[in-house]
Amino acid sequence: MTQRQRFLIFVEKDGSGIVLEAKNIFDLQNLKQEAVSKGMACQPLTIESFYPDYRGYRYFDLRSAITRETFNLDYILESWEADKRHREDHEGTEEWFIH
């Protein structure tokens, strides 16, 4: 049985990142181009490096038609920004919760 090639990329910005899997090299290049245009850093991955090094990151399988239809990098970036603002708003409040 031969292994089919996997097209994985890690995209990150400001300490947050996700793993994306494209269905082919053309789609992977388009994802990379879009991510870079939005200020994200990109790193190609192999399936061997995914499991030990990136397993805890959110993973989007863009080989799925439904995922491709609903996935949006702008939404990811907005979510990261909202989370960052939330954390910044609550910095220092941990002491309030400690008894």
Report how far Cα 57 is from the mean position of its chain's Cα atoms: 7
Indicate the pTM of the whole model: 0.82
- Which tens digits make up the pLDDT trace of 40-91? 999 999 989 888 889 889 999 999 999 999 999 999 999 999 988 888 887 7
When pLDDT is averaged across residues 4-9 and rounded to a whole number, the result is: 93
Q: What is the CA radius of gyration of the chain?
A: 16
Band (pLDDT 50/70/90 cuts) for residue 31 is very high
Domain ranges of the chain: 7-90
